[in-house]
Amino acid sequence: MVNSLNKKDFLDNTIKQLKDTVELLKLEAWIFDFLKEPKTSLIVSIPVKMDDGSIKIFQGFRVQHSNARGPYKGGIRYSPEVTLEEIKALAMLMTWKCAVIDIPFGGAKGGVICDTKNMSLGEKERLTRRYTNAIFNLIGPYVDIPGPDMYTDPQTMAWVMDTYSQIKGYAVPEIVTGKPVSLGGSEGRLMATSRGVSICVREATNLLNIPLRDAEVVIQGFGNVGSFTAHLLKNMGCKIIAVSDSKGGVLNRKGLDIFKLSEYKLKNGTVVGFDGESISNKELLQLECDILIPAALEGSIGKEEAPFVKAKIIVEGANGPLTAEADEILKANKVFIVPDILANSGGVLVSYLEWVQNLNREHWSEEEVNSKLEIKMVKAFKEVLKLSQEKGETLRRAALSLGIKRVAEAIKVRGIWP
């Protein structure tokens, strides 16, 4: 996968966004100093007994950025590329995301440096349980609620919940979100991020008078977010002409059969080789289309790729897929961008709904969950759009302004104590 952004640059870019927004809003300078560093950063050593009897030591992180508006909330990712800088940046973005969608959470993030593609199910379970034990004193249903992220899933969250519950001595389903439905997970959670992205696509095309039916869509990344977004947009009448994963992409100008493509990816581990024209990730980003959805890694579109992007609309399914330089280039080229802290906030929104259900020992229907998601996403989109139009700013600047202003207000109202 193309990745133009190293993890330190990603953090520096995220901090620069905060600084620029604080200055734009004319907030007190100490607000920037207060928010540029997370409240807590924990580094843990995780010994795990492997299947061959050897002991391997993994390194893990949990970063809590801000709890000014409520408990910390953020996923756990497993990847060989995880760094503390990346986790800090993602925790900060989660703070803004929760504020933009207007739910009472603050931002956090966790991660473990590991390659789950070369680990057995038993090894992943032992890793997850040891990691949960290591961060046990930092998390809690009213303190910090983890969820799934890259290379973690409902099974991973089930292990986290069970480990925490075993230590506490009773079931605590509200300690994590993204669980299997059988353990108190919410209906609609699996597709929530993609549903939010799809709603933003619909709202953006309506705004720009681009017919949704037969709108040509290109999706970079065919994991959970990318694949579910493809299915949802296909059902809304869009034509998915190209998708990619870390190994490459496939193009069909007549439209890909997304159902068959998903089956092919499940069987072969990649979209490469599916019926159509094989293309690289670089070529995928340069395709003429109505909508481009980067749903892969942060920094996947940099200053080298941005000048060649021909999409009319970009809706960010991934966190931080555009570098700061790419953002400026695309702005100058009149590309309409729906930023990550708005576009992919459907996941954390339904995580919040799952948490509420767990606290009250309730279980809502998928229709009820999706209805609440629709209402919240449309409201947030309209609020960001209105601010953008009033201030003559991009949607990204408007979304950051809305989110950071709400967090700053909470900090000032609460005060600094002791």
Q: Which residues are catalytically annotated?
A: 109
Q: Which residue has the tokens 């990745």?
A: 3
- How far apart CA 4 and CA 314 sit, in angstroms, is 17
276-306 burial: b if 16+ Cβ within 10 Å, else e: beebebebbbbbebbbbbbbbbbbbbbeebb
Q: How far is CA 349 from CA 65, 136, 192, 195, 367, in A?
A: 18, 24, 8, 11, 15
74-102 burial: b if 16+ Cβ within 10 Å, else e: bbbbbbeebbbbbbbbbbbbbbbbbbbbb
Instruction: Count CB atoms within 10 A of the CB of residue 27.
Output: 18
- Residue by residue, DSSP assigns 324-366 as HHHHHHHHHTT-EEE-HHHHTTHHHHHHHHHHHHHHTT----H
Burial of 346 (0-12, 13-18, 19+ CB in 10 A): buried
- How far apart CA 315 and CA 221 sit, in angstroms, is 13
